[in-house]
Structure 1
Amino acid sequence: MNIAAGHISRRLVLGACLALGLAAPVLAQGSDDAVLKSLLPDSYIGADSAPVSLIVYSSPTCSHCVDFHANELPKLQEKFVSTGKLKIAYRPFMRNSLDAVIFMLAHSRGADKFDETVSTYMNKFDELAAAQDTEQAVRSIAEGMGIDKAGFDKAVADQPYFDQLNAATKQAQEEFKVAGTPTFFLDGKQLEIASSFEEVGTAVEAALPKP
């Protein structure tokens, strides 16, 4: 289920009913246009000098994003990132109010803990999906990272950052033609994922400079 940025409101973020959603992998649109600078700053994993860059538009409540994060990302990090060949940036993409809450909590912990916070929620995906009270489950996970009730409430009341998330999601949809998550851009061009996320690694290998 894809939710346009304009359909997400602060009222939904602060509401007690937070819904999990699923999205299918996105196929490339065949565009050769390079991805322009995001409205939110990119934070790359890997060496700045890496010859290949991968941008991933991701949602922490997307089962396919969770699958990529758990199964394929470690392989990419071991084979390409740790060897200085690839750098990876995750860009937030809001599909529902729970995404917004998680990104806002991550932002509240600072740039150095943003990816760690989102990863923690991805690792707890099954727990969140099975929770009878999703809001309480989200709060409990936040407490485990040192975010108390006051800190949680302050984070999700950050209207300026919420507006930035909305704008960045709208930019992804309208400028970069991101229709769902995960969506991958390798060296500025959208990747076509036909059947398996292993294709990302194959594409990275092909993009590396030849000796």
Structure 2
Amino acid sequence: MKGLIRAGAVVGFALMSVGAAPNWLVTVSKTDGGHLLGNPNAKVKLTTFESYTCPHCADFEKEAGAELRISFVQSGKVSLEVRHALRDPVDLTAAMLTECVAPGKFFATHQAIFRNFDQIARTLTTSTKAQQDRWYGQDKAAARRAIASDFGFYPIVASQGLTRAQADQCLNNNALAKRLAEQDRADEEKYNITGTPSFAINGVRLIATYQWSLLKPQLDARL
């Protein structure tokens, strides 16, 4: 059966057969400030705060990706919520595009952007002044479109079903940009986010935990 829509709360996007156990690896829900993969009622609720220009976040996605999902999320005992941490206009541009793909494709897009991190890093380090001037221009929508082009974001979201015209419409949405920026500031204040990636378990931010090898034992201890 199709996932149920709950007013103002969680929207489920999983498809499952009547009577069959839920497939938590394809169950995606929208939360009040992020996207959640897995069982919304999991005993252990992991929240990650990640920046698309953060090399340590890219390392975390590479190291944790399969093991976190298969060993923890798949069982239904752990849920994974991703929330955006915005450090610059590049982060904001990427975050906006992940918000505009179909909700069920959020996590695939999120991971695809991090798999493209080498290009992101290369573009950041080899960019010209003219490029940077476009990224930080007064016309914020035009700046985001320039970023999406220079950093190769358009092909990534196209592979997830978002056309170039739809992507541009997304990046022109100043209200969405404002909402994401406000959410980022609210998360920083609520969780005292000082670096990325940062993690919270059941709403409590973990101290001195910035990589999978330190996070995994803390998940194990709560199961």
TM-score between the two structures when normalised by the length of structure 2: 0.69
Is residue 124 of structure 1 aligned with residue 124 of structure 2? no
Q: 1:196/1:60 Cα in 2 relative to 1: closer, same or farther (>3 Å)?
A: closer
Identity %: 24
SS at match of 2:75: coil
1:126-182 C-alpha deviation (Å, 9 max, x unpaired): 122224566332334344444443222211111111111011111012222112211
Distance 1:61 1:172 in 2: 18
Q: CA deviation at 1:196?
A: 4.5
Partner of 1:45: 37
SS at match of 1:72: helix
SS at match of 2:191: coil
What letter corresponds to residue 54 of structure 1 in structure 2?
A: L
1:140-179 map, 5 Å = 140-179=155-194
Q: CA deviation at 1:39?
A: 8.5
RMSD of the TM alignment (CA)? 2.3
Is residue 204 of structure 1 aligned with residue 219 of structure 2? yes
Structure of greater relative contact order (alpha carbons < 8 Å, 6+ residues apart): 1
Q: CA deviation at 1:194?
A: 5.5
Distance 2:210 2:175 in 1: 38
Which region of structure 1 is more displaced relative to structure 2, 172-181 or 198-207?
172-181
Which region of structure 1 is more displaced relative to structure 2, 111-120 or 146-155?
146-155
SS at match of 1:55: strand
Q: 1:186 aligns with which of 181, 201, 209?
A: 201
What letter corresponds to residue 160 of structure 1 in structure 2?
A: A
Q: 2:50 aligns with which of 58, 74, 90?
A: 58
* Aligned partners of 2:199 and 2:210 also within 8 Å: no
Distance 1:124 1:176 in 2: 28
What letter corresponds to residue 97 of structure 1 in structure 2?
A: P
1:8-19 map, 5 Å = none
Is residue 108 of structure 1 aligned with residue 100 of structure 2? yes
**Higher percent of residues as helix:** 2
Which region of structure 1 is more displaced relative to structure 2, 185-194 or 125-134?
125-134
* Aligned partners of 1:39 and 1:164 also within 8 Å: no
* Aligned partners of 1:39 and 1:167 also within 8 Å: no
1:113-137 C-alpha deviation (Å, 9 max, x unpaired): 2222221111111122224566332
Distance 1:194 1:90 in 2: 16
Q: CA deviation at 1:49?
A: 3.2
Q: CA deviation at 1:89?
A: 0.2
Q: 1:101/1:151 Cα in 2 relative to 1: closer, same or farther (>3 Å)?
A: same
Distance 1:147 1:80 in 2: 30
